[in-house]
Each structure stands twice: as C-alpha cells, then as structure tokens.
Structure 1
Amino acid sequence: MTELSATASIEVAVDPATAFKVFTEEIDLWWVRGPINFFDASRATAMQIEPGVGGRILEVYSPPDDVLEIGKITDWQPGARFAYRSSVDDTETRIAFDATSAGCRVTVVQSLLPGGSQAFYFWRNVIHWIPEWLSRR
C-alpha cells in the first residue's frame, strides 16, 4: 500500500524570505548531482523553478529547451509558502517557510491525491541538502 503522505522539515539560520529565495531561485545550486537524483540523470544539466502560480518545476536537459516538467505551481506566496501538483506522479507538494527564533523552519508535505496510486516521496532525502548549501553559500 502506498503511503498517503510524507513530511520532512529542516531548520535554517536565515529568515523565511531568504529561505524561500534559496529554495526556489537557487535550487540548481543546492540540488546534489548524482545518478539517482534526477529522472534522467544521464541528460540532466539543471533544476529550475519558474516563479508564480502556473510556473513549472523543471529538470533541464541539453539543449536547454529540452525539459521534463516535474510539477506545476499551484500556490506562490514568497517568503511564506508555495505548492505544486506533480506531473510525474499522483501527488501534491506544499512547502512552508515559518519563522523561528533561530531563523526558519522549512517544511515539505507531499501528499497522494485522492484516487492516486503512484507517489515518489523523495523530499525526505533531498531537503537536508539546503542547509549544506547554506553553510557554503
């Protein structure tokens, strides 16, 4: 039986607006390259998030106009949250950026849609790359 949802969170020592910017605008800088970290690792050259509702999350290949749409943005509130509906499985993912006394908690909740059967719950393995990037940024 497929899990109905998966949640992962991290604490980062930056404010929510910066964490949002790092997550969305700098995804290609913190996304770790590797054979299991892309849908087509042999061709992937970048990860990209197009801002705003209707924007896409993309795995970019060469030439750059060759892409795999990972998802489509359904909610976009800079510094607070964004969400997307997956194009590669039957999930919706919500990412929240909540202020803490030490900076920000980034929480990702990936949920199987009603009637869905396929879920690639990868965020639990990916989200810890962000603080690693921030320590080098």
Structure 2
Amino acid sequence: MRDEAGAIVEVGIRPGDAFEVFTRDTDKWWRSDRSITDHAGPLRFDGDRVLAGDGTEVGRVRVWEAGPRLVFSYGGGQAEVEVRFEEIPTGTRVVLRHYGWDASAPGPWASVLAGFARHSLERVLLARIGDFLDAIGNGDAAFFERNLTDDALLIFPGGTYTKQQCVAEMSDHPPYVKYDIEESWIVHLGESTAVISHRARIMHAGNAAERSIVVTSVLVREDDGWLMALNQWTAGDEN
C-alpha cells in the first residue's frame, strides 16, 4: 500500500540557513544506517541529481527554492519528498512530507530529522561562541553583562573570574588577531544545557606568539537565548 509519511521539527536558525544545512550538510547529520533507498548512507544533492551514500543516482531535484521549499523524487519517480522551511519567531519549522511511501514499512524520517535538528543546534551553539569572541574583539563589556549567567565563572591559566570581574576587565582585553578553531565537540545535557569544547590556535594583539588552547564552555538556554555559565581555558598540546 502506498501512502504518505512525514515529520516536523523546529530549529533555532533562519529558513535560509536551515535549507543550507538540510541540503549541504547531510554527511554530518544523516545517520549512515538510515536510508529511504536500497543504498546505504545519507542522500546527497548534486545539482539536480539526488545521490545515495555510495554515489548512485537515486532521484532528481524538482524544486530548489533556497529558503522556503525543496522537492525531490527518488526510486524512478515513484515517490516524492517535499520539505518546507517555514519562518517562526524562534527560527524555522521544517515540515517534511513523503508521498508514495510504503505505509506497511516504518519510515525513517522522525530519526532523520532528529539528526538534522541536533546538527542545526550545534551550528547555533558554535555561532554563539563566535559571538563571545566578537565581543572580546570589540571590547563590548555590555555583551558579557547580558550574556553571562549571574553566577558565571570564567577560569583562565592566569586566574578565575566571576561575572562582575569579567565585565569590569573586558574593555582592556586585547583583540584577537587569530582564532582558528581546529576541532570541536558538543555534549547535550537535556534541551537547555550544552557543553562545548574546542581546540584552537590563537594570537592576540597583546602577545604575538601563537598558542594552542582547549576551551570548554557550558551554555544554558534561557528566555533571551543561550547564556554562558562556565568558560575554562587550558593550554593545548604543543607537540
């Protein structure tokens, strides 16, 4: 029996960004053991072609409206998937409809979109770290006043700072001339807390020597967005 399947998720990024994540980053969020074809691995979009994980062409793109809508066929045109990216106050609602699905078989879309939502959140969290780095470069103490939790703690090789101490000294922090993130890891602790660690190579205007660091941050979601509750720097492996 042929029928319709689908799934809906909401993500905290704009529709255009959600469309890009969905179409460009499938290798990062689509689990290799989930497939809607007989070929293993995630689907990939290559121009107007839809490819399986092994590179086999399995379908065609029918509508490519970057931002609002994506439609593609697969399996010789016997089935069609429509994905709409609808703007909402908190980001984007992604509505997926799969026409021509075999209703007697369990569909993969709930778990597939769960992976998409998780990767989208990780993109938001890494961008949030970038916001803090930009604020340091701009000497924006008011940003830290707004975006650190009241009991936040910042731990550096040279000392430990409360929120009040950080805000008081932020305007004197030299801007970075280099901050290259080489690796990042994210651990989700429920829906409102995340631990982000990254390794980076940095230089700032107050010290011309390049250094390797490992930074771990704890972000918590409140009404105003993701706030930083903990930030700890350690020296990276120089070997």
Task: State the TM-score, normalizing by the size of structure 1.
Answer: 0.74
* Structure 1 residue 120: Cα displacement: 7.8
Matched, 1:17 2:16: yes
Query: Distance in 2 between the 1:133 and 1:21 partners?
Result: 12
* Structure 1 residue 125: Cα displacement: 3.1
* Structure 1 residue 77: Cα displacement: 0.4
Matched, 1:127 2:110: no
Query: Which sections of structure 1, spanning at least 5 residues, go unmatched?
Result: 62-66
Query: Distance in 1 between the 2:62 and 2:105 partners?
Result: 18
Query: Which sections of structure 2, spanning at least 5 residues, go unmatched?
Result: 124-239
Does 1 or 2 have the higher relative contact order (CA < 8 Å, sep 6+)? 1
Letter of the 1:83 counterpart? V
Correspondence list, 1:18-37, <5 A: 18-34=17-33, 36-37=34-35
Q: Which residue of 1 aligns with 2:51?
A: 58
Aligned CA RMSD, in angstroms, stands at: 2.8
* Structure 1 residue 112: Cα displacement: 1.6
Query: Distance in 1 between the 2:117 and 2:9 partners?
Result: 8
Letter of the 1:123 counterpart? W
Greater percentage in strand = 2
> After superposition, what is the alpha-carbon deviation per residue over 1:15-56, rounded to whole angstroms, capped at 9, x for unaligned?
00000000001111111123x547344xx5x642124xxx12
Task: State the TM-score, normalizing by the size of structure 2.
Answer: 0.45
* Structure 1 residue 5: Cα displacement: 0.6
1:48 equivalent among 36, 44, 53: 44
Query: Distance in 2 between the 1:69 and 1:5 partners?
Result: 23
Bigger Rg, structure 1 or 2? 2
Is the CA contact 1:11–1:104 (under 8 Å) kept in the aligned structure 2? yes
Q: Which residue of 2 aligns with 1:103?
A: 91
- Percent identity, please: 25
Letter of the 1:124 counterpart? A
Greater percentage in helix = 2
Runs of 4+ residues deviating >3 angstroms: 36-41, 116-121
* Structure 1 residue 4: Cα displacement: 1.6
